[in-house]
A and B are shown apart, each in its own frame.
Chain A
Amino acid sequence: GAGVSQSPSNKVTEKGKDVELRCDPISGHTALYWYRQRLGQGLEFLIYFQGNSAPDKSGLPSDRFSAERTGESVSTLTIQRTQQEDSAVYLCASSLVGRTSTDTQYFGPGTRLTVL
């Protein structure tokens, strides 16, 4: 398909474990974004990539959260030593140009993370 894909779709982990969430953006999109959606709440911005660099990491909630992007394509969001408050749906989006334009962000289906 031509859309943004994310894996896994669901992840259940034990408190204290590390998890990796993957995002495959739309081919050719230079900008990639990660968001978190807690139950019953809006989307919280986490991090923005332009190419392989991240000019805005201001939304990462703690140093347990990190993300990287390689080949101007796939991105991985890593949460170390997971806590129960990390339980949420993690959404990835991509856009053609990025923050210097008003182009549309296209979202993936999300990864539902449950920390027991």
Chain B
Amino acid sequence: NAGVTQTPKFQVLKTGQSMTLQCAQDMNHEYMSWYRQDPGMGLRLIHYSVGAGITDQGEVPNGYNVSRSTTEDFPLRLLSAAPSQTSVYFCASGQGGNNEQFFGPGTRLTVL
């Protein structure tokens, strides 16, 4: 199993550009989530999904959209990138929301 995979590993955007961060898992997990990690602030939940077709907001959802059309994939969309979205983004999955969570390798995003 590849586990949780994320692409790209690095990305530089200009303010106002849009992009999609990809996340996929091959463990047939129902629960998937997106976090951002900023220095001194720990990881913060952006959006999460308890199954295909179901998504909900986390702690810091503004500026981000998600969808979950399949069990395997959970993309994160930035519609109009801002410098405040410069961060490292992690995708995670688990059998359920209350089960052990497995993280991807992360995407380092810089918005100029």
A and B interact physically: no
* B contact residues vs A (CB 8 Å cutoff): none
* A contact residues vs B (CB 8 Å cutoff): none
